[in-house]
Amino acid sequence: MKIKGYEKIGEQLYSEKLENGLTVYVMPKKGFNKSYAFFATDYGGADRRFFLSGKWLDTPAGVAHFLEHKMFDTPDGNALTRLSANGASPNAYTSTDITAYHFESIEKFEENLEILLDFVSVPYFTEESVRKEQGIIGQEIRMTEDDPNFVVYYGLMKALFAHHPLRDSVAGTIESIAEITAETLYNCHKVFYNPSNMVLCVAGDVDPEKIVEVARRVLPKEPGEIPLRDYGPEESLLPVTAYSERKMEVGLPLFLGGCKIAAVKGGEEYLRQELLADMAIQILMGRSSPLYVRLYAEGLINNNFEAAYEAAAGAAFLLFGGESKDPKKVHDAVLDEIDAAAKSGVDRTLFETTKKTLYGQLIRSLNSFSSLCHGRATAHFRGFDSLRAPEILMDFTAEDVDAFIREHLKRERFALSTVFPVSGSK
């Protein structure tokens, strides 16, 4: 196995690429009681159109999420039940560009790892079980469509993007999941759940060689073809519309502002942009920023106000939002703050404080096994080294943040999505 040390943060990373194309990463954590396994595929809700074996293939919205739900079915029952009975705490999720299966356990870790790798790599579907699941997921879709937070988020996605699958829910629609068959699931599993398109990350007090041995023994022996993905026509950096509004049963108006950002395909620049975006967000509108303090004091925002940077499936954007009696006023104040920073630069004292704070958060996250493994998996798929994040962050200057704000946070790239009370007024 390859061993890479990170002296400044006191970490080691063991890795090995198996003959089937799977890369295994192990991050030893001596003295911890629990160990954590994260088995992920580079496949999410946006990966609906792909090129394989000489032709383009289209699948219904929601297939990746549907497949994640059905993967726990086995001829002998349910893998969740087996893992739980064996002392593990298992779960799974599907996002725009990744599907992951994970568990943590104190005892029988290698045995539980074998169960995880086995059920994820050996699909079992029947038309009857697919029909049953269509009813279950259909109920989930109806519930989320009545959730104001869901509505304000996808209102923004549709305002920002003209064609990208980010416009659509990862779960799909009632109509789209009705098109899913057992054959659809088998085909998508064969394409995206091949070892060449996956990664295994483990953190804990474990033996790296034993982890690799389990993976080599349980998983398929042959590599698979990695498909090309198509997310639609190239998007403009301008939004489709600057404003979206819905009315629902809410106590206070909800809002979500967003800005399209030129995406980085991969490599260290991908990580660098993420870190710069996080710094800019905290300086401009984080809880220690003058803007946040002022808006909070004026009663225009409350503790629900949050901001974040997201990058997925070839797209990138910044978000900020929460509850407010006057969403447009908050939105305008954020844009004014960004314009001022673009003109005069960010406050240098606040920059230094923010850098130290974010560095501390990165170091603390090294003891969060879920954060560590998720970050390592994303880094693998996007071609960078997640454990270099603290080092890269500390090399940033205030001028780097100034340049990011001037280049990416342009007023014309912003859109605002709102949900107002049914009986209220703007």
Active site residues: 68
Q: Are 313 and 97 in contact (CB under 8 A)?
A: yes
Q: What is the CA radius of gyration of the chain?
A: 23
Residue in 97, 27, 165, 71 with CA at minimum distance from that of residue 378: 97
- The CA distance from 168 to 62, in Å, is 9
DSSP conformation letters of 74-139: ETTEEHHHHHHHTTEEEEEEE-SS-EEEEEEESS-HHHHHHHHHHHHHS----HHHHHHHHHHHHH
From the number of C-beta atoms within 10 Å of its C-beta (0-12, 13-18, 19+), residue 179 rates as middle
Question: Residue 288 CB: number of other CB atoms within 10 A?
Answer: 12
Nearest Cα residue to 171 out of 159, 154, 184: 154
| Interatomic CA distance for residues 100 and 120, integer angstroms | 10
Contacts of 94 (CB under 8 A, 6+ apart): 44, 45, 64, 65, 68, 170
Gap between the Cα atoms of 130 and 179, Å rounded: 11
Cα dihedral 181, 187, 189, 194, rounded to 10, equals: 180
CB-side neighbour CA atoms (13 Å) of 157? 20
Give the side-chain half-sphere CA count within 13 A for 140. Answer: 14
Distance CA 122, CA 182 (A): 14
- Both tokens of 113, joined, read 């790892």
Burial class (CB in 10 A: 0-12, 13-18, 19+), 291: buried
Q: Of 314, 329, 325, 311, nearest to 257 (Cα)?
A: 329
